[in-house]
Structure 1
Amino acid sequence: MSDPGPPARCPASSGPPTWHVTRHADVVAVAQDARSFSSAVSRHLQIPNGLDGAEHARFRPLVESFFTEDRMDALEPDLRAIAAEVVRSLPRDHPVETVADLGRPFAVRATCTWLGWPDSLETTLLDWMRDNHAATRSADHTRTSEVAARFDAIITELTRVRRDAGEAAPGDVTTELTQATVDGRPLEDAEIVSILRNWTAGDIASVALCVGVVVRYLADHPDVQEQVRRSRHDRGALERAIDEMLRIDDPFVANRRVVAEPTEIGGVALDRGDRLQLRWTAANRDPARFGDPDAYRPEENAPHNLVYGTGPHVCPGRSLATLELRVVLEEVLDATTRIDSVGQVVREDPPLGGYASAPVVLRTDASTTGAGSGISAGAPSR
């Protein structure tokens, strides 16, 4: 394999050029230099990932306060119960879609439980995820704006109910956010919507895609699956295993930056206003950093893994995503004796990562084999 190379200009860009940054070292350099590379890239308010400098510093502690170790420990039993229920509902010895049947239902229910949202929203959110994916793939700004407005309306109604209830509002994360302050003032409605959008609109889909990548990877790599099964009660080892599988096939494709002052990266001169795409998936497979990017080395690669980003804008919700993925994988492993590959995987269309379809068969009898059932693994298709 060859080096991914220095930043390359997108040939289809208009106006200020867009550069795709793919090398691990260059992606890290950009992500860690918030002075030269601004995160204020959207026309919509994005808290905290679209803020820079002092503004980012004001909101970041508030956001991080919802992802503390104590909060995650308290949430874990509820998430485990959801994961166990979803896994129990899946058939054994028949194909199961890791994203549609496992990842999405778990991610939506987990998010609703965490935020205190009603179970009745599950279908609404699943429908919205489907429409949002389609709008994202279309690259039609009118379409994506309409889908975003639908989601904002859902959030606005949830927060309105809590504001109207006053002291009778439920004691959940969403109520707590409506009562939060920054610099001694209450959050504005637009700020609350932005934070909740960040926590849900992207994270539900991302967790679902991650579940698909991890479970299918284990099915495709029986040796790794056996190793993970032996160490599944070691929390740290299991979390490093998940991170490494996601490094190898990273569904978090890219983030944007805009050049704030003339600079250079990877030997390429950049002007103020130039746009960048930080290609996390490519950086996480850079042979200059990882050698063979397909080699499964969770301990060795952990310090350089960029699944959750790096620098001042590193994902503040990493602890929640890690908890969700660990719990759902533990429940899958505890409920099965083996996970087998079946059929072909179908990749998501750019700009999404991960799988649109990644079927597996969940086994509870070690004597049952994929070959005996007449089902065999297939190569990826597009």
Structure 2
Amino acid sequence: MNDTSAGFRDWSCYTATPADSLALFEAARGCPVAHSDAHDGFTLLLDYKAVRKAMADHRRFSSEPQVLRPMLPRKAIPALEMDPPRHGAWRAIFSQALPPGTDVRMEPFVRADIRRHLARLAPSGGCDIVAELCEPVPAETICHLVGVDEEMVPAIRRAAIEMFAAQGDPELFGHRQAAFGALTVTEVHERAARPRDDFLTTLVGLEVEGRVLDDEDFVVLFAAFLGAGHHSTTSAMASLVWAVFSDPALRDRIAADRSLIAQAVEETLRLYPPFYGFFRRTVCPVEVNGVDIPSGHDVYMGWAAANRDPAQFEAPDRFDIDRASTRHMAFGFGIHSCPGAALARMELKVLLEELLDTLPDLSIGEPVPPFAFGGGDYCYLPALDVRFTPKTIED
């Protein structure tokens, strides 16, 4: 295979920052593919059409055994790391938890949680909005969704954060997954003893692929819910606050025309996807952009690069509230696209609505820390200080 981009020689999210990665992606525009020797070697797809086509082709680009590198000592994440026919049986579990209309049903809970946090924060005149709002709200949403007791939310949230942060260290990940499992499996066992009208009770005794779910299944299911529904939404919320409120003119324009909120959400997801990409493994020899890729080879689906492809998006590095097309890859594509996309979009919309209503003069403090990688190709803002006029709000 030709190495068309020497700058990627040892690239991975553990050797480069998000900013460095974006610069490499841009430098490689026009190359058919790129290659990295990290994680035993893999090919990177960076242009929009190639990524979209490969994401839609699960027969040649497999999601098994795992979608992140390095490989970790855990079971496959249900549906996400499974191909048909297994994929359909496990995806149905998420469809049960997220039937059509879930975003509408959950919106009052999300709005109430955000208002409760804002009532607590408003008198202070400033805070780290990642820690105080963007971090807790998505976790609370997922716990409302599946039925976790409110008093368990902080402990489960902390255990999940610690587990995801250990993605690059298989041994440490194993220890932290065990700690996460000890908390989450207890919730399911509680439902077995005392059933309720919630999704956790639905999992008790559920059969998939001809067998009853076991404790290991519950752990990876919880990890999937919290990884997709909490971890990534926290990242998107912080990015949305930064993108909108760092530009007072943009902030005021959206405040005056709330129909622009949906576009602000999509531009944020396009420019600042919570995951820069996932891996696939070829199941047969394939050809991409004239380059032959052998069977059994790891291929990185570069979502962040595809989202900034100038052949797809005019002035792709610019946050453009008037952009005509935002068909981005932030939620993946194909049969493995995120089942909670509508829920995440609703959370982002409600967050922006409530901030504009409650703290209309909110601005971004200095310095703004750079985006970082954490726990695989997960990209996030570690902190974001904001300032606003102190006020007292009735919760």
Question: Which category describes the TM-score, using the shorter chain as reference length?
Answer: 0.7 to 0.9
Matched position secondary structure for 1:48: coil
Query: d(CA) in 1 for partners of 2:338 and 2:48?
Result: 17
**What is the CA deviation profile of residues 199-248 of structure 1, one whole-angstrom value per residue up to 9, with x for unaligned ones?**
0134312111111100011111223212321233x4xx423321211212
The aligned amino acid for 2:177 is: A
Query: d(CA) in 2 for partners of 1:175 and 1:4?
Result: 52
Q: Does 1:122 align with 2:148?
A: no
**What is the CA deviation profile of residues 160-184 of structure 1, one whole-angstrom value per residue up to 9, with x for unaligned ones?**
111122xxx1211221233545478
Query: d(CA) in 1 for partners of 2:77 and 2:93?
Result: 14
Q: How many residues align?
A: 355
1:21 to 1:157, Cα distance in 2 relative to 1, 3 A? same
- State the partner residue of 1:210: 236
- State the partner residue of 1:246: 269
**What is the CA deviation profile of residues 340-362 of structure 1, one whole-angstrom value per residue up to 9, with x for unaligned ones?**
12102213432431211222213
Question: Kindly, what percent of the aligned residue pairs are identical?
Answer: 24
Give yes or no for contact 1:9–1:20 (8 Å, CA) kept in 2.
yes
Query: How far is the alpha carbon of 1:189 from its aligned partner?
Result: 4.2
Query: How far is the alpha carbon of 1:54 from its aligned partner?
Result: 1.3
The range that moved more, 291-300 or 24-33, is: 291-300
Give yes or no for contact 2:267–2:326 (8 Å, CA) kept in 1.
no
Correspondent of 1:343 among 344, 366, 369: 366
Query: d(CA) in 2 for partners of 1:13 and 1:180?
Result: 36
Aligned-pair RMSD on alpha carbons? 2.4
1:146 to 1:6, Cα distance in 2 relative to 1, 3 A? farther
Unpaired runs of at least 5, structure 2: 1-25, 67-73
Query: d(CA) in 2 for partners of 1:163 and 1:302?
Result: 47
Query: d(CA) in 2 for partners of 1:99 and 1:291?
Result: 30
**What is the CA deviation profile of residues 255-285 of structure 1, one whole-angstrom value per residue up to 9, with x for unaligned ones?**
1111111102222211111112212112111
The aligned amino acid for 1:142 is: E
Q: Does 1:22 align with 2:46?
A: yes
Query: d(CA) in 1 for partners of 2:65 and 2:210?
Result: 27
1:199 to 1:310, Cα distance in 2 relative to 1, 3 A? same
- State the partner residue of 1:49: 80
- State the partner residue of 2:128: 97
The aligned amino acid for 1:157 is: T
Q: Does 1:155 align with 2:184?
A: yes
Query: d(CA) in 2 for partners of 1:205 and 1:261?
Result: 33
The aligned amino acid for 2:347 is: E
The aligned amino acid for 1:149 is: A
Query: d(CA) in 2 for partners of 1:182 and 1:129?
Result: 25
1:231 to 1:270, Cα distance in 2 relative to 1, 3 A? same
Query: d(CA) in 1 for partners of 2:188 and 2:257?
Result: 42
1:252 to 1:302, Cα distance in 2 relative to 1, 3 A? farther
Query: How far is the alpha carbon of 1:74 from its aligned partner?
Result: 2.1
1:117 to 1:173, Cα distance in 2 relative to 1, 3 A? same
Correspondent of 1:74 among 102, 105, 112: 105
TM-score, normalised to structure 1, is: 0.85
TM-score, normalised to structure 2, is: 0.82
Correspondent of 1:33 among 57, 65, 86: 57
Within 5 Å, give how 1:1-382 maps onto structure 2. 3=29, 5-14=31-40, 17-42=41-66, 44-91=75-122, 94-136=125-167, 139-165=168-194, 169-178=195-204, 180-182=206-208, 186-232=212-258, 234=259, 237-297=260-320, 300=323, 302-350=325-373, 351-363=377-389
Query: d(CA) in 2 for partners of 1:177 and 1:22?
Result: 39
The aligned amino acid for 1:196 is: F
The aligned amino acid for 1:103 is: C
Give yes or no for contact 1:98–1:211 (8 Å, CA) kept in 2.
no
Unpaired runs of at least 5, structure 1: 366-382
Query: How far is the alpha carbon of 1:133 from its aligned partner?
Result: 4.9
